[in-house]
Structure 1
Amino acid sequence: MRPLRIALLGAGRIGSFHAATLARTDGVGDILIADADPPRAAALAARTGAKALDSPEEAFEAGVDAVVIATATASHADLITRAARAGLPAFCEKPIAVDLPGTARALAEAERAGTLLQIGFQRRFDAGYRAAREALRAGRLGRVHTIRAVTSDPAPPPAEFLPLSGGLFRDCMVHDFDTVRWLTGREVTEVYARGTDAGAPAFREHGDVDTACALLTLDDGTLVSATATRYNGAGYDVRTELCGDRDQWAVGLDARTPLTSAEPTGPGGPEHPWPGFLERFESAYRAELDAFVRAVRGALDSPCPGREGLNALLIAEACELSRRENRPVAPAEPAAAAGLG
């Protein structure tokens, strides 16, 4: 079977990481890189032995076998649509779009075309999360009654990113929402969310929050607390605790977790805490692109289909509505408001 010819759209931080990963992935041959900033695409292509294109649009006329979308969020839905209409499998970093109508339209295009679409929820490919999922599904924890999810960035993103991000629930905590559904196989029936904007003025200016907490109720009664902040000076911290009546498991608790015990005999803070998401999930990012390549070849189904992006976004939308109106919200409510049934 000949090597795949893949177009990578986006040459920023995550695009650069994906370019290096694709260059080392079995089954990948030519890599064509395009970006809204052509010199940036050319520089990345030179570093990775790829070929630079003049624009993302050119990729759909370049005779590629698949596309990897790592561009700015606002362009995702259009590029997914272009890929579908060209009959091309696509991997896309989350989100599909920052709103429900845009997400639904892009999904409809991919489903109408019958093309493969994989969404970049990389935690599904992390060794710790996968082990916890297997343990939970095998019944080793017994009845799981409580789940606690933590996502903490070491510092806020640039102020100019905030109006484009969709907000803390859609940009950051959406990973936790997807992970909870994937780990448990259950659906979220109700959320209650709060947030604060006590940090930089840019959060208030754009109607966003820098710290948030959400209580999720699953369809079997399991309670989930999910917290996130843009201000965790100790380092990058992503953890999930699964608490059952037989055992408790923690994902993300290792020698680099930026957490200091207050106990006299407890561990101190790590010498080299995780600095960011690329370092913390390096292996997971590599595994998800390897899975995408194998799915393009027909060796497996998409491990994170496009609909999963919509399902997680519905929970994020419910949380944002709950935060604004200070009331419990079912994910079915924003779905109905968007005409999704």
Structure 2
Amino acid sequence: MSATKKIIRVGLIGAGRMGSFHATSLAQRVPGAVLAAVADPVPGAAQRLAEKLGVERFYSEPQAMLDSPDIDAVVIVSPARTHAELVVAAARAGKHVFCEKPMAVTLEEADRAIAAAREAGVVLQVGFNRRFASGFAAALAEIKAGKIGTPQLLRSLTRDPAPLRDPTPIPPWTIYLETLIHDFDTLLHCNPGAKPVEVYAIADALVRPDFKDKGLLDTSVVTIRFDNGAIAIAEANFQAVYGYDVRGEVFGSNGMLQIGNINVNNAVRYTAEGISIDTSRQDTDLLADAYIAELTEFVRCAATGETPRATGEDARNALAIALACIASVQQNLPVKL
């Protein structure tokens, strides 16, 4: 069997909403992958997901799965604060690693994860799914081909549709570390070769002001200045009542690119009630193809040794901006990078 035909046996850590989506993709939609095991410390979670997908093995301790010699690769979809530790453990066990963003929440953690993968000689890919969305991929190709000249003004936004309820499960600074980190990667990706040199962030609890004293900021705007002179804006809000909203724009010396929309499809409804469209209500609706494509690339890279599009270094670069945003909000000042 050739390397390109190699079957990759994947273990998944984290049986929550996103983990269940990735597990289903690995079991049913990703060529060359076999979902071999599921692990989750929440009682019964791994067993329920495994049984639903016809997977025989399930674990309450992720390390027990990592110790299995017949697992080739691991997909980590656990809570963000556990990611770096699991990346290191998986790499040391000789497993190729796909980790949902953020890969880490400190630069020290990020460096440790990158070093562990490098020392073990395993693939490390991070879940920056927008790189795999057709519109964003097409825009990057246009930028690299010089179609819009030199990027000068960039914008990326994320607006989550779910209404905010009890904020207890949402850790502080989630808006930067887990939401806007996608936008930071997008802006870095769409301004290739440029480095961020200054960040200024403002944030507040506008959706639920009563949660502010619990540390939950739900709205933010970030300005990023790059060393090539380009200026970027990233924004986020945790309650877009009309649907899951992910878009971007790159204005250059020779033109402009607009990326993304919130439509389920391109159908527009004209009735006596007015003109309407159906919008995507979840990330797994709007970006379903991108989620599958990123796992497909991961499995291919695990089989061939190729370098994936979204690496540990990319995760570290986006994290550096997220951490600068936190410092900027705390100090109410621009922060140099």
- TM (norm. structure 1) is 0.88
1:204 and 2:209 are equivalent in the alignment: no
Deviations 1:62-118 (A, max 9, x none): 221111111122221221111111111110001122223322322232223232211
Match in the other structure for 1:144: 151
1:107 and 2:111 are equivalent in the alignment: no
Q: Are the aligned partners of 2:262 and 2:279 in contact in 1 as well (CA < 8 Å)?
A: no
Shift of 1:50: 1.5
Give the SS at the match of 2:304. coil
Q: Are the aligned partners of 2:245 and 2:262 in contact in 1 as well (CA < 8 Å)?
A: no
Shift of 1:162: 1.7
Match in the other structure for 2:129: 122
Give the SS at the match of 1:83. helix
Deviations 1:21-42 (A, max 9, x none): 1112111235211111242211
Deviations 1:210-233 (A, max 9, x none): 110011111111111111111211
Aligned sequence identity (%): 37
Match in the other structure for 2:39: 34
1:10 and 2:7 are equivalent in the alignment: no
Match in the other structure for 1:180: 187
Q: Are the aligned partners of 1:83 and 1:89 in contact in 2 as well (CA < 8 Å)?
A: yes
Structure 1: 5+ residue stretches without partners:
261-267, 332-341
1:78 and 1:206 mapped to 2: Cα distance?
A: 26
2:295 and 2:103 mapped to 1: Cα distance?
A: 17
1:20 to 1, 24, 35: 24
Match in the other structure for 1:46: 51
Shift of 1:156: 4.6
2:314 and 2:177 mapped to 1: Cα distance?
A: 14
Return the letter of the residue paired with 2:184: F
2:103 and 2:305 mapped to 1: Cα distance?
A: 24
Structure 2: 5+ residue stretches without partners:
269-273
State the superposition RMSD in angstroms: 2.0
Match in the other structure for 1:264: none
1:319 to 301, 317, 325: 325
Match in the other structure for 1:72: 79
Shift of 1:313: 0.5
1:225 and 2:236 are equivalent in the alignment: no
Return the letter of the residue paired with 1:104: D
2:250 to 242, 245, 256: 242
Return the letter of the residue paired with 2:282: G
2:276 and 2:229 mapped to 1: Cα distance?
A: 36
Q: Are the aligned partners of 2:10 and 2:74 in contact in 1 as well (CA < 8 Å)?
A: yes
Deviations 1:262-294 (A, max 9, x none): xxxxxx874311102111110000000000000
| Count of residues paired in the alignment | 321
Deviations 1:228-260 (A, max 9, x none): 111211211110011123222111136449xx9
Q: Are the aligned partners of 2:173 and 2:326 in contact in 1 as well (CA < 8 Å)?
A: no
The change in CA–CA distance for 1:114 and 1:87 in structure 2 (over 3 A counts) is: same
Give the SS at the match of 2:236. strand
2:289 and 2:77 mapped to 1: Cα distance?
A: 18
The change in CA–CA distance for 1:204 and 1:108 in structure 2 (over 3 A counts) is: same
Return the letter of the residue paired with 1:174: I
